[in-house]
Amino acid sequence: MIEHIAPEIRVEAAITWQGGCSPAGIEIRSLNLASEIRDAQEIFDRVWPPLGGGTQVTPNLLRAITHSGGYCSAAYIDDKPVAAALAIVGLHATDSGQHLHLHSHMAGVLEEYRNRRIGTMIKAHQRWWAMSKGINTIVWTFDPLVARNAKLNLVNLGVSVRGYEPNFYGAMTDAINVGEESDRVFAWWDLSGERARAAARGELGVITELSESQTVVEAPEDIVALRRADPGAARKWRFVLRENLMREFAAGREIIGVTENGDYVLDLLER
């Protein structure tokens, strides 16, 4: 189902990504042609280096995704690609029937360009693009152990997080995920919802006080550093976090924010 999205909200979404990119010298382009798509492929292979060569996603598959209505973009600084994102159109069931959503499969920023809000801006562009197609929800997965992804998603973008899938992708063979169980949680981004609009205005922050219905699940502050320093302790975190989050999701809660030290704040789902 194509959803009606108020014109003023679409305008807000356009202003968010355009206004954030211009002062920082960032240009974001939608990619469609085979010659353009290779910029995205290069980013994906540098962010998630395939072990033993090969590629994360072939150009012909990227071309098929964009030709069939999917999304592919790259962010540029001085005409150099520094980030990219890829998404496919999917369906999810609601009480009122089947609804379109955009499933954001990959989004990455080159390491030397991180912490410049480039990831936030490419997601803001994706939000505007989806709205322009009549799609009001973007869904993606992320590893709940990675604190920087959680903060980006919950504070900068205004998503809610629900659903835990142990080892969702099975064994992965890139240099980042090899040897790890690919547990993932699901980010749901209501593109015209108040949380997304507040995040776009920079009004969301970490949570410092809990309501009576909220609870906290502890998460590692920097799992990447912990994996280098103590791989055994890092592996234990996987199973502890899995157990705690699955328990809270089963109790009818969703993740709605993070604390100052990166722990998850959960609240009861609105029915």
pLDDT by residue for the chain (271 residues), tens digit each?
677 899 999 999 999 999 999 999 999 999 998 889 999 999 999 999 988 888 999 999 999 999 999 999 999 999 999 999 999 999 988 777 788 999 999 999 999 999 999 999 999 999 999 999 999 999 999 999 988 889 999 999 999 998 999 999 998 887 778 778 889 999 999 999 999 999 999 999 999 999 999 999 999 988 989 988 998 999 999 999 999 999 999 999 999 999 998 999 999 987 5
Q: What is residue 136's predicted lDDT score, i.e. its pLDDT?
A: 95
Q: What is residue 263's predicted lDDT score, i.e. its pLDDT?
A: 96
Question: DSSP of 163-221, one letter per residue?
Answer: EEETTTT-S--BTTTTTS---EEEEEEETTSHHHHHHHTT------S--TT-EEE---S
Residue whose C-alpha is closest to residue 249's, from 259, 241, 261, 239: 241
Q: What is residue 34's predicted lDDT score, i.e. its pLDDT?
A: 87
Architecture (CATH level 2) of domain 7-205: 3-Layer(aba) Sandwich (3.40)
- β pairing state of 137-142 and 184-190: antiparallel
- For residue 112, CA distances in Å to 40, 56, 106, 227, 238 come to 17, 20, 18, 21, 27
Rounded CA gap, 87 and 130, in Å? 10
Half-sphere exposure of 5 (CA within 13 A, CB side): 24
- For residue 254, CA distances in Å to 96, 101, 176 come to 21, 19, 27
Q: In terms of C-beta density within 10 A (0-12 exposed, 13-18 middle, 19 or more buried), how is residue 197 classed?
A: middle
CA gyration radius, the chain: 18
Rounded CA gap, 106 and 65, in Å? 13
Residue whose C-alpha is closest to residue 152's, from 257, 46, 39, 20: 257
Q: What is residue 271's predicted lDDT score, i.e. its pLDDT?
A: 54
Half-sphere exposure of 183 (CA within 13 A, CB side): 17
Rounded CA gap, 113 and 246, in Å? 34
